Amino acid sequence: MTGPAVVLFDLDDTLFAHQRSVRLGVSAHRRASGGALAAADEVEEFARWHALEEHHYTRYLRGELDFLAQRRSRARDFVAPYDLDLTDDDAADRWFDDYLAEYERSWSLHDDALPCLDALEAAGTRLGIITNGDIDFQTGKIERVELAPRIEHVIASGELGYAKPDPRIFEHACAVFGVAPSDAVYVGDRLNTDAIGAAEAGLRGVWLDRSGAATADELASAAASGVLVINSLEELPVALG
């Protein structure tokens, strides 16, 4: 079987089990904090942490906050209902670093990631990552979960000044690989940011809908952009073959 020339992947929640690590990390950090924060409802607190991450990380990607400031904002807003004072930057950084230590302890890949990469490599496909994030932080993850030897290039928005779904990041990645966008595939868990963004830059967009919760509107948008929809990375090599 001959695969596509280049397949590029999103990192968080596509190859890397980010949400699972975040859930375990927040839970452990809350328990270690003690008091009312430790006793709070697990599901509600994870939902609150996740919403704050989405909110402040999007502000970082838009250039409204730098990387450290988005971390401090997440820490401060999260503890606000518990009367913990993280006004001081060092206090906020320490609180976030303690969370990070727990998050990092839980870093892992999705179970379907390596078999998918192996099958693509066997078909002669070159592999890369395009991630919206800080290059050092994302590279640290890639190395820790042993993806590094399989990945030819990592493209991170943090070192470029533009982020997905800006077509420039997809075009830049294709240029780094020396292929035309039409010879590249991009796979990610966010329909608009990843799959449709890539399709608009001329790549083949693939939406990884892990929860299988796609709405009729989402499926219609995917179809209108020529985006392939899969529920697991297991499906990818055959779908592209």
Candidate segments 6-14, 37-45, 92-100, 213-221, binder of Mg ion by CB under 5 A: 6-14
Candidate segments 10-18, 120-128, 195-203, 211-219, binder of Mg ion by CB under 5 A: 10-18
Name the token pair of 166: 């800006």
Number of residues engaging Mg ion in binding (CB under 5 A): 4
d(CA 74, CA 78): 6
- Please pick, from the candidates 13, 45, 102, 166, the single residue that binds Mg ion as defined by CB under 5 A: 13
Radius of gyration of the chain (CA): 19
Candidate segments 113-121, 134-142, 185-193, 232-240, binder of Mg ion by CB under 5 A: 185-193
Extract long-range pairs of 216-222: CB within 8 Å, 24+ residues apart.
218/191, 221/191, 221/192, 221/196, 222/191, 222/195, 222/196
Residue 16 dihedral angles phi and psi, to the nearest 5°: -95, 135
d(CA 150, CA 200): 27
Candidate segments 35-43, 99-107, 122-130, 187-195, binder of Mg ion by CB under 5 A: 187-195
Name the token pair of 158: 């943090």
d(CA 190, CA 222): 11
CB of 143 to Mg ion, least distance (A): 19
- Please pick, from the candidates 117, 189, 204, 233, the single residue that binds Mg ion as defined by CB under 5 A: 189
Binding of residue 53 to Mg ion (CB under 5 A)? no
The distance from CA 215 to its chain's CA centroid, rounded to whole angstroms, is 21
CB of 70 to Mg ion, least distance (A): 16
Binding of residue 166 to Mg ion (CB under 5 A)? no
Binding of residue 102 to Mg ion (CB under 5 A)? no
- Please pick, from the candidates 9, 12, 76, 208, the single residue that binds Mg ion as defined by CB under 5 A: 12
Binding footprint of Mg ion on the chain (CB under 5 A): 10, 12-13, 189
